[in-house]
Structure 1
Amino acid sequence: MDSPIVKDVFSRMKLNPEDARAIYLQLSDQILALIKHGQLTTGQKLPSTRDMASLLKINRITVSKAFEELHTQGWLESFVGRGTFVSSHVPELEPKKLQNIAINKAQKVAGFALNDKQYLSNPYFVPTADFHLDDGYPDPRLAPLKELYRAYRSQLTRSGLYYKFGSYNTPDGPEIYKEAISSYLNETRGLKTTLKNILSVRGTLMGINLVCNALIRQGDVVVSGIPGWQRAEHNFLHSKAKHIGIPVDKYGLVVDELKKICKRTKVRMVYVTPHHHYPTTVSLRIDRRLELLQLANEYGFIIFEDDYDFDFHYNYRPLLPLASADENGMVIYCGSFSKSFSPAFRMGYIAASENVIEHLTNVRVLLDRQGDHILDNAMAELINDGTIQRYLRKTLTVYEERRNHFCNLLQNELGNAVDFSIPDGGMTVWTEFDKSINLEKLSQQAYKKGLYVSDGKIHQYPTYNTNGIRLGFASSSLENLSDSVEILKRLI
C-alpha cells in the first residue's frame, strides 16, 4: 500500500455483516464519506482491490463491486496499468476530522433556515389506551368494511383497466362519484347540484386548505367562531389572512358581531359549522342562519360551511345546510365520510357553483394531480346500492343509545363536577368541568389508568378559557362508557 496515511484511513473502516445493507455498499458509503469530507482528495490513488481486501479482511470481489459502484456514480476513475483514483472532477474540499464524519446516518437538522410558525407546531399523539372519550369519532366496528372491500376489489377486476390505472384521470374526481354525491346531497340535504357542482377531496381539511390556497389572499379577513377548530384557523393564518374570532353562544355563531365587523372592514370569508358547532355542538338557530346568508349577499363574502357530522341528529330530522337555502352561490359546502364512516378513509367532497369548482380543480392539480379514483368509485357503489344509507340508519340508533347512556352516567356519577347539555346530535358531549379540576392533570392521570381524554388545550384562546373538553361517546360500547366514567369519577 503506497501511503501509511491512506492505510490508516482505511483501517478505521468498520463493516457490519449483520447490517441489512450489503457489505460492498457499506464500503462504498464509507469511501464516499471520506471523499466528501476531504480525507481522500482529487486525483488521490486508492489501494488496489487486493490490498484493500487484505486490510479489511473481506473478499476482493466485494471491494471491486464497491469501486464499480463509485465509478458508476462518477466519484472514482480507473486507468489500465495505473490503478483507481478519486475522480479529477471532484472539487478540492477542506478536510474534516474523521470523528465528525457521519456515514450512512439520516440528517436531523437541515442546513437552511425554516420559516417556522408557532401554528405549525402540531405534535401528533396517537393514544393507545383501552378506553377513549375522543374528539367524536365513529365506531369502525359498525362500518360496512366488508362491503367496501368487495366494492373496491370489484374496481380492480372490471374492464377498462387502462382508463383506471394506465393514465391520469380527471383531477376533480370520477364522474360516477360526483354523480352519486350530487344525488345524495340533493336527496338528503336539499341541495340543488349536478356533478359539475362537485369536487372530490381527501377530507374536510384538504377542502379548507384548497379553498384558502385558491380564494384567500394575504391580508384578507376570515371570520370564524371562538372557540373553534384550530386546524381550520391554522389554514387561515398560513394563507396570510387576518383571522377574526367572534363569540359562540347557545344558539351558535353570534351573527350580530359579524355584522359589526362587516360595517367596518371587508370580509372575504366566514367559516362556520352550523349544524353542530365545533367544539360546543350547538346548532345555529334559524334566524341567525337566514341573517348570515343575507349578510353574505349584502357584503359579498364566502360562507365556508363545514358540515362534518350532518348524518347524526337524534331528536328530530337534521337541520338542512345553509347551502340548501343559498340562491346566490355564496356558500361553499364541504363534507366527508371520515366522521360517519371512518377517519382512516380520506373521502370527502366540496359542493359549490360550477365556476368555483372549476377554479378549485385547477388549483388542486398543483397539490394533488387527482384523488383516489378507485376508492371514490367504490364509495359511489355503496351510495348507489343503498349500503351507506342503511349503515347510517343503523348507527344513528346505536349512537343515540350511547349518547343517552353516557349523559346519564355524567349526570349520575360526576354530578356537580361537570356541566353539560344533552346534544341534539353529533358524537360528543361538550363538557365543562368545575374550575377546581385541572384538565391537563386529569388527562395525564386518566391515561395512566387506561383512559384517553383531551387536556382541553386546543379549546383555549386568549379571550376564551372555559374549562371544557369534548367527550366522544360514539366509538365506545356501553360497557366501555361505564368503565370510562368510573375512571373519571375515581380521579375527580
Structure 2
Amino acid sequence: MSSPVEIPFKSVILLERGTATPVYLQIARQMINAIQRGVLNKGVKLPGTRSLAEMLDVHRKTVVAAYNELDAQGWIEMLPNKGTFVTDKSPVLKAGSLPFNAENLVSYPQETGFSFERSMLLDRPVSVSGTGLEFTDGLPDVRLAPMDKLAKAYSSVLKRSNNRKYLNYAHVEGNTYFRDKLAIYLNNTRGLHISRENIITTRGIQMGIYLASMLLIRKGDHVVVGNLSYYTANMIFQQAGANIISVPVDDQGISVDAVRELCLTKSIRMLYITPHHHYPTTVTLSAGRRVELLNLSVQYGFIILEDDHDYDFHYNSSPVLPLASADSAGMVVYVGSFCKALAPGLRSGYIVAPRNLISELGKFRRIIDRQSDLMMEQALAELLDEGEIQRHIKKAQKIYHQRRDLLSTLLTQHLSEYLNFTSPPGGLAIWTEWQKDINLMRLSKACLKKDLLLPQTLLFQTGQLSAVRLGFGNLNEHELNEAVSIMKEVLENKP
C-alpha cells in the first residue's frame, strides 16, 4: 500500500447542496468516478474521515457513510490501525490515467469515442420554442381536447380490477375491445368493411408509415409521391432504401396519367398519397382518379399507402370516401390516427390492411414497441362506444370551420396583394402561394422578432414556387387576427 498522496479532493469531489441525491452518495459516486478514471490509483491511501470532512466542509458522519458505501461496493478497504485504501481489485480504465481535470469527473462526454454513420436524410429544421404565436402545418388546438372525458374514462379503467390484465405484456395487435370499436367507427365514418383482424394500433401515423415501409420496401424499390409531398414520409421511404419518384399534383390531386406513364417503364413498388387533403397543398383527390388509381394498382401490382391524416375535418360537404373503402383486391394499406381529432400528444394511430399483412406488421411492431398502451386504448374504446369522441369531433369541426373562414377573410382583407389561395374544403391548414419576389425566410425571421413563429418546414420556395402552408387549427379568433396583423406589418416594412 502506498503512502497518502496529495490529491485536491475539494476539486475532485464537487458537491451540490439541496439536490435529491444525499451528500454521502455524491461523495461516494464521485470517488468511484475518480478511481475508474485513474485519478485515484490502486493502493492509494485516502484521508481519514475527519480530514476529508474538513476538506469538504461536511459532517464527519457524512464521510463515514460515504466510506461505508465505497467499502460495501468493493472500491476501498478499511484496515484497522492502518487506514483506508483504494483496493487493488478496483477496476480502472485500461487506457491509463487521464490528466486530472475536475470536469472529467462530473461531465458527460460531448461526443462518442467511436464512429457511426450519420443520416442527412433525417435532418429537420429545429422549431423555436417559447414564442407567443405559431403557425403550424395543420395541428389541432389542444385546448379543445376533451380531457375531462378522457381523464374520467382512463381513471375508471385503472380502478377496475378486471383491467389489470392490461398491465401485463400482451401478444396482440392492440387492445381487442378498442379494435372492435375502432372497426365499427371506421366502417361508419369511412365506408370500410373491416373487423378487428384488419387493424393494428400504432403510436400515430408516422409510426404506421414507418412500419409499413420497413416491411414492404426494399433497397432500390421505386416509391411514387406527389410533387410536393409529406417530408417525413419521404424521409422514411429514403431511410428504407427507396428511390423516390415525384409526379405532378393539380387541383384534382395526384396525376393519374403520370403514374400510368411511370408504370409503363418502371416497376413501381408503392404509391404514397394523402387523398382527402393532399399534403401540403390541401387539394382533394377526385373520386374518378381514386378509381383509376385502384385499377392501376391491380394492373401493375403496386401498393397504395393511403395516409388519411385529417379525414375527420371537412366543412363544405361529406368527404370523399377513402380508396380503402373500394379496395377489393387487397392493394391498399390505410393509415390513420386520433392525434388530430383529439390531441397530438395522445399517440393513438392505426393501420388497416388485409389480415395476413396485419399479422406480419405485428411482428415488426413488437421489435420496437412490445405492445400499445392497452389501458389508454380501453379508455378510448369506451369513449367511442359512448359516442363521446364522435361528439367531440363534431363540436371541434364547427370551431375549425369558423377558424378557416376567419383566416380566409383575414388573408383576403389584409394580404391579398402578396398572396393567392383557395379556401380548402377541409383539414386544418390553408395553402397560400406568394409573390416570388418575397423572401420567405426573411419573412419568417422578421415575424419571429415579433413573437410569431413561421417554421421553416411550412415554407416552400424554389425557382418555380413560393408558397406557405398556414395551419389555423391551433389559433383562436384573437390569435389569428394578431398573427395576420404581424405578417402584414412585416410585409409592409419589406423584409
Q: Is 247-256 or 63-72 further displaced after alignment?
A: 63-72
Partner in structure 2 of residue 45 of structure 1: 45
Partner amino acid, structure 1, of 2:467:
G
Corresponding residue for 1:372?
373
Aligned to 2:360: 359
Number of residue pairs aligned between Structure 1 and Structure 2: 488
Cα distance between partner residues in 1 of 2:201 and 2:172: 8
List aligned pairs for 1:29-68, cutoff 5 A: 29-68=29-68
Tell me the residue number matched to 1:72. 72
Greater shift after overlay, 469-478 or 337-346? Answer: 469-478
1:134 to 133, 136, 139: 136
Note the aligned Cα RMSD (angstroms).
2.3
Q: Distance in 2 between matches of 1:362 and 1:321?
A: 27
Encode CA deviations 1:362-382: one digit per residue, 9 max, x unaligned. 110000011111111111111
- Alpha-carbon distance, 1:242 to partner: 1.8
Change beyond 3 A, Cα 1:140–1:64:
same
Secondary structure, aligned partner of 2:104: coil
DSSP 3-state at the match of 1:160: helix
CA distance in 2, matches of 1:141, 1:95: 56
Shift of 1:161: 4.0
Letter in 2 for 1:352: A
1:226, distance to aligned residue in structure 2 (A): 1.8
User: Which amino acid counterpart does residue 149 of structure 1 have in structure 2?
Assistant: A
Q: Tell which deviates more after alignment, 178-187 or 291-300.
A: 291-300
Secondary structure at the aligned position of 2:280 is classed as coil
Q: Does 1:296 align with 2:286?
A: no
Residue 485 of structure 2 is aligned to residue 490 of structure 1: no
1:415-463 deviation per Cα after TM superposition (whole angstroms, max 9, x unaligned): 22101111111111100111121111111222222322234566467xx
Q: Deviations over 1:123-170 (max 9, x none)?
A: 4425443333321122233332211111111111123143122x1134
Secondary structure at the aligned position of 1:246 is classed as strand
Distance 2:15 2:63 in 1: 15
Q: In 2, Cα distance between the equivalents of 1:71 and 1:263?
A: 75
Q: Distance in 2 between matches of 1:297 and 1:224?
A: 18
What CA distance in whole angstroms lies between the structure 2 residues aligned with 1:129 and 1:100?
A: 37
Q: Could you state the TM-score of these two structures normalised by the residue count of structure 1? A: 0.92
Equivalent pair of 1:198/1:350 in contact (CA under 8 Å): yes
Q: Does 1:103 align with 2:109?
A: no
Indicate the SS of the match to 1:118: coil
Q: Name the stretch that deviates more: 35-44 or 320-329.
A: 35-44
Structure 2 residue aligned with 1:149: 151
Q: Give SS of 1:120's match.
A: coil
Q: What CA distance in whole angstroms lies between the structure 2 residues aligned with 1:2 and 1:19?
A: 36
Between the aligned partners of 1:301 and 1:72, the Cα distance in structure 2 is 64
Moved more, 481-490 or 421-430: 481-490
Question: Mean alpha-carbon deviation: is it higher for 327-336 or for 34-43?
Answer: 34-43
Contact 1:456–1:468 at 8 Å: present in 2 too? Answer: no
- Letter matched to residue 113 of structure 1: S
Could you say which residue in structure 1 is the equivalent of 2:410? Answer: 409
Q: Hey, what does 1:204 align to over in structure 2?
A: 205
Q: 1:473 to 1:51 in 2, by over 3 A?
A: closer
Q: 1:435 to 1:30 in 2, by over 3 A?
A: same
Q: Percent identity?
A: 40
For 2:310 and 2:30, the matched residues in 1 are separated by 55
| Structure 1: runs of 5 or more not aligned | none
Contact 2:459 2:469 in 1 (8 A): no
TM-score (norm 2): 0.92
Q: Distance in 2 between matches of 1:249 and 1:118?
A: 30
Alpha-carbon separation, structure 2, partners of 1:144 and 1:11: 54
After the TM superposition, which of the residue ranges 37-46 and 420-429 deviates more from structure 2? 37-46
1:224 and 1:361 map into 2 onto residues whose CA distance is: 26
In structure 1, C-alpha distance between the alignment counterparts of 2:433 and 2:2, rounded to whole Å: 78
